[in-house]
Chains A and B, each alone.
Chain A
Amino acid sequence: MTSIIAVRGLRKAYDSGFEALKGVDLDIEEGEIIALLGPNGAGKTTLISTICGISRSTAGSVSVGGHDIQSDYRAARAMIGLVPQEISLEPFETIANTVRFSRGLFGRPPDEARIDRLLAALSLSEKKNARNRELSGGMKRRVMIAKALSHEPRVLFLDEPTAGVDVELRREMWDVVKELRRDGVTIILTTHYIEEAEAIADRIAVINRGEILLVEKTGDLMARMGRKELEIMLEAPLDAVPESLSAHALTLSPDGRGLVYGYDGRAQSTGVGALMADIQAAGLPIADIRTRQSSLEEIFVGLVKDEN
């Protein structure tokens, strides 16, 4: 894999003096979907805006497809499509015109057939000649996506694309994203829906306070940190974990009715079988059993806590 975007020591201080990016290094591989994950104000939008040329960096460099975003900005920018976090459409302009404008702006000759296909793919065909102000919020967001895709970019930035989008539309949107990936488009997205990052991203970059904390394959991250918990509910409460079960790392819930066993869900030997056998042997009647996998969200909260 070659990296299509290389960010090196990128710093960004706003006029107020606030440093929103504190030396970001990031390599994005061609054709991958990478999720930027971070709390409000982490610097996700700032990072995207700086790569796309909307705000200026204070230090460091970025190249897109081998083109420096400053010295070779035309080639770099022509490769990029951007769907910003905020929707901004001219209310009285038609959808078709809005999208045509974007295509031209990025240097592509008019191509009505392509625009029709694009609008169809985003379920906007019916609204082609409607005005932007006549659209629902979800439709407006799709128009923003259509604009970003109008010039056939190789790299697509989606800054919180599913904010304010209903479940069905979100699924449709992810279908579009997956199809783009099939065509080899590299996709960088930010989202607050962590399950989605987990489900759709090949890699996850965690960013907080202007710094990248880690970049890892989604699966590896889950495996490395994805602890599972088994909770065994007992019919009668206990005062303490019985002596015969002391070999297992068990904790007793405060009400004494639950035994909690933490383990690595992907390990060869989880120890669950032996634990169950020992509980049986100890003669403890079991009322219920449940398992829980720690989500990316918990991992994330853990990481941020470690840092502070």
Chain B
Amino acid sequence: MSRPNLQAIRAIYLYEMGRFFRTILQSMLAPVISASLYFVVFGAAIGGRIDQVEGIAYGAFIVPGLIMLTVTTQATSNASIGIFFPKFLGSIYEVLSAPVNAFEIVIGYVGAAATKAFIVGLIILATAYLFIDLSIARPFAMILFLLLTCTSFALLGFIIGIWAANFEQLQLIPLLVITPLVFLGGTFYSTTMLPPFWQGLTLLNPMHYLISGFRWSFFEQADVPIALSLFAIAVFTVICLAAIWWIFRTGWRLRS
């Protein structure tokens, strides 16, 4: 195999990041405002009347879940639009005819989408500090979890972007799958508060492991063991990578 095309990775990454910075206000404003609303309503207003959850003030308890909600949606939609848009415009021909392999394309597009989501995640975190009394027990683990989540959901978004035939389909998965799973995965509550049957069902929700692990990095408390959270995220990433590998091998929805 010949040398990797690092220039191409760089070009794709910078081009995609350029789009982000060009529309930085729109890119940031919507997620920050909606997260702030959650913090105000659930954290400050309702949180004041709710007992602590597992010894954590309710306002603080919901922060990790809300960050997860934002970054998973952001990573997915950024990556899906990043690859869908050139497909839609027809300018994808250039990527398909360039001396690049699947991994270089993925690193460029997914890397950029993950970076954007990561930046948005950090800004939401900073916003949280404005409203809520918060401390992070394991900052490095927190960053690692955030990065892994951004990357794996950007991979998922990339697949959605290649799969989608129109803008409606592009919105479908994030709206129909990701948001509900994040909500049901324990964003606003500890799953240990649920009746046994629903607790069992939650174990099938991949988002549950992410939120639990991420929350652990803040408060050193988790619904499931941290190792299991990491394992879940790894499995999810591997599945996405395998799907992408298959897409490029067969040219599915890319090459006629």
Contact pick for B99, options A103, A106, A147, CB 8 Å? A106
**Residue of A78, A90, A105, A109 with most partner-chain B CB within 10 A:** A105
How many A residues face the partner with a CB closer than 8 A?
36
| Beta-carbon nearest neighbor of A81 in chain B | B97
Instruction: Please state if A90 and B91 are interface contacts (CB–CB under 8 Å).
Output: yes
Cβ-neighbour of A105 out of B18, B95, B255 (below 8 A): B95
The answer to whether A52 has its CB under 8 Å from any CB of chain B is: yes
List B75-120 residues whose CB lies under 8 Å from chain A.
85-86, 89-91, 93-100
Least distance between B60 CB and chain A CB atoms (Å): 40
Selected contact of A90 from candidates B8, B86, B97, B256, CB within 8 Å = B86
With an 8 Å Cβ cutoff, the count of chain B residues facing the other chain is: 28
Q: B22 touches which one: A86, A92, A101, A108 (CB < 8 A)? A: A92
Q: Given A97-B15, A107-B99, check contact A54 B8 (CB 8 Å).
A: no
Contact mask for chain A residues 106-138; partner B; CB cutoff 8 A; 1 contact, 0 none: 111100000000000000000000000000000
A101 contact set on B, CB distance < 8 A:
11-12, 15
Q: Which listed residue, A75, A92, A105, A109, touches B98 by the CB 8 Å rule?
A: A105
Q: A15-B256, A88-B91, A90-B91 are in contact. Are A82 and B99 (CB under 8 A)?
A: no
Residue of A nearest to B23 (CB): A92
A279 to B53, CA, bound (A): 114
A54 to chain B minimum Cβ distance, whole angstroms, is 5
Known: A86-B90, A97-B18, A104-B11. A55 touches B255 (CB 8 A): yes
Q: B-side binding surface: helix, strand, loop or mixed?
A: helix
| Known A102-B94, A105-B100: A56·B89 in contact at CB below 8 Å | no
Pick the most buried of A52, A88, A89: most chain B CB atoms within 10 A of its CB.
A88
B89 in contact with A77 (CB, 8 Å): no
CA distance A77 to B101 in the complex (A): 12
With A56-B255, A73-B99, A97-B15 as known contacts, state yes or no: A147 contacts B94, CB within 8 Å: yes
Q: A104 contacts which chain B residues (CB < 8 A)?
A: 7-8, 10-12, 14-15
Which residues from chain A contact B86 at a C-beta distance below 8 Å? 88, 90
Say if the beta carbon of A80 comes within 8 Å of chain B. yes
Check: A193 CB closer than 8 A to any chain B CB.
Answer: no
Q: Is B135 an interface residue (CB 8 A)?
A: no
Q: In the complex, which residue of chain B has the Cβ closest to the Cβ of A12? A: B256
Q: Does A100 sit at the interface, judged by CB under 8 A?
A: yes
Does residue A84 face the partner (Cβ distance < 8 Å to B)?
A: yes
> Given the known A-B contacts A104-B7, A105-B12, are A84 and B18 also in contact in the complex, defined by CB atoms under 8 Å?
no
* A53 at the binding interface (Cβ < 8 Å): yes
Q: Which of B18, B90, B99 has the most CB of A within 10 A?
A: B99
Q: What is the bound-complex CA distance between A101 and B85, given in angstroms?
A: 15
Is the pair B5, A107 in contact by a Cβ cutoff of 8 Å? yes
Contact B91 A56 (CB under 8 A): no
Extra pairs beyond A77-B98, A107-B5 (10, CB < 8 Å): A55-B255, A56-B251, A76-B99, A86-B90, A92-B19, A104-B10, A105-B94, A105-B98, A107-B7, A147-B94
- Identify the B interface with A (CB < 8 A): 2, 5, 7-8, 10-12, 14-15, 18-19, 22, 85-86, 89-91, 93-100, 251, 255-256
How close is A107's CB to chain B, nearest CB, in angstroms? 5
Q: Which residues of A contact B (CB under 8 A)?
A: 14-15, 49, 52-56, 72-78, 80, 82, 84, 86, 88-90, 92-93, 97, 100-109, 147
- Which residues does chain B contribute within 8 Å of A76, judged by CB atoms? 99
How far is A53 from B92 in the complex, measured between Cα atoms in Å? 12
A90 touches B85 (CB 8 A): yes
Q: How far is the CA of A73 from the CA of B100 in the complex (A)?
A: 9
| Neighbouring B residues of A54 by C-beta, 8 Å | 93, 96-97, 255-256
Name which residue of chain A comes closest to B15, CB basis.
A101
For the complex, what is the distance from the CA of A101 to the CA of B7, rounded to whole Å?
A: 10
Q: How far is the CB of B100 from chain A (nearest CB, A)?
A: 7
- CA separation between A104 and B19, bound complex, in Å? 17
Q: How far is the CB of B86 from chain A (nearest CB, A)?
A: 7
Q: Which residue of B lies closest to A76 (CB)?
A: B99
C-alpha gap A103/B138 in the complex (Å) = 43
The reply to whether B97 and A89 contact each other, CB–CB distance below 8 Å, is no
Kindly state the separation between the CA atoms of A82 and B90 in the bound complex, as whole angstroms: 14
B22 pairs with A105, CB closer than 8 A: no
